[in-house]
Amino acid sequence: MTKELNVCLTPVLIPLYNVEDHVVVIIDIFRATSSICYGIENGAEAIIPVSEVEECEAYREQGLDYLLAAERNGEVVAGFDFGNSPFSYTKQKVAGKTVVLTTTNGTQALHLSRKAKKIAIGSFLNLTALCNWLKTQDENILLVCAGWKNNFNLEDTLFAGAVVEQLKTTGLKLDDAAIAANDIYQAGKNDINQYLKKTSHGERLKKLGIEKDIEFCLQIDITTAIPILDGDKLVKLV
């Protein structure tokens, strides 16, 4: 059987796929999966994704030496160590540490994909490392775009299209969304930052004053670590 390369454009559509038959890649470019890739690259022992701020809070009460990261609507939740700005995931801050993270879109997509054969985390930071690893998997692949509040967004889809670009010559069968994602990548690849400026999300994040984060998240291949879900934790694939 020809293996498939499918793209799920928003978490709402996850139930339409048999995730248990796929290796899943979670994509939340601005900023959760970029920060996770950066944190794992920088020696974080593990990053624990949780759905609710309250779950994150519960870890504090256990008295463990965990860093607690909570973001909602693009901002750090009051009382938490940090949110999902990549600049909070430097070596200095996270090396040897475990981070508990909840974000608006990314962790939700991850939880809805729980039954997948494997779950990896993708971002422009680890693009080629991720693709090289995916090429070694003899499995159907599902790229899950976290989107924004359950709807489609361009940056996650464009990144999915960048993955399709590296995998499309390997004989995988692309679904319609994979073809579309690759066309969007073609439209934007020459200047991704400029391309994404016209999007709603770009404006939203600009209002939050995090243009620097955006630029950071659009750097290609500055890391090689592949965060992978092991039980409840994202750890470095070895």
Among 187, 194, 211, 230, binds a copy of itself (CB under 8 A): 187
Confirm or reject binding of residue 151 to a copy of itself (CB under 8 A): yes
Per DSSP, 172 falls in state: P
Confirm or reject binding of residue 13 to a copy of itself (CB under 8 A): yes
Residue 183 Cβ, how far from a copy of itself at the closest point, in Å?
Answer: 4
Confirm or reject binding of residue 165 to a copy of itself (CB under 8 A): no
Confirm or reject binding of residue 16 to a copy of itself (CB under 8 A): yes
Pairing mode, if any, of strands 75-76 and 46-49? unpaired
The answer, yes or no, to whether the previous bond of 31 is cis (omega within 30 of 0) is yes
Around Cβ 179, how many Cβ atoms within 10 Å? 15
Residue 113 Cβ, how far from a copy of itself at the closest point, in Å?
Answer: 16
Confirm or reject binding of residue 183 to a copy of itself (CB under 8 A): yes
Query: Phi first, then psi: what are they for 180, rounded to 5°?
Result: -60, -45
Confirm or reject binding of residue 140 to a copy of itself (CB under 8 A): no
How far apart are alpha carbons 233 and 178 in whole angstroms? 28
Per DSSP, 77 falls in state: P
Structure token pair of residue 164: 């399709």
Residue number, 88 or 104, with CB nearest to a copy of itself: 104
Residue number, 199 or 219, with CB nearest to a copy of itself: 199
Among 91, 198, 206, 212, binds a copy of itself (CB under 8 A): 198
Confirm or reject binding of residue 179 to a copy of itself (CB under 8 A): yes
Structure token pair of residue 88: 């909070």
Element (H, E) at 100: strand 98-102
169: which residues sit within 8 A by CB, 6+ positions away? Answer: none
Residue number, 12 or 222, with CB nearest to a copy of itself: 12
- Half-sphere exposure of 79 toward its Cβ, with a 13 Å CA cutoff? 6
Confirm or reject binding of residue 193 to a copy of itself (CB under 8 A): no
Among 67, 157, 172, 235, binds a copy of itself (CB under 8 A): 157
Contacts with a copy of itself by CB under 8 A lie at 9-10, 12-13, 16, 148-154, 157, 175-177, 179-180, 183-184, 186-188, 198-201
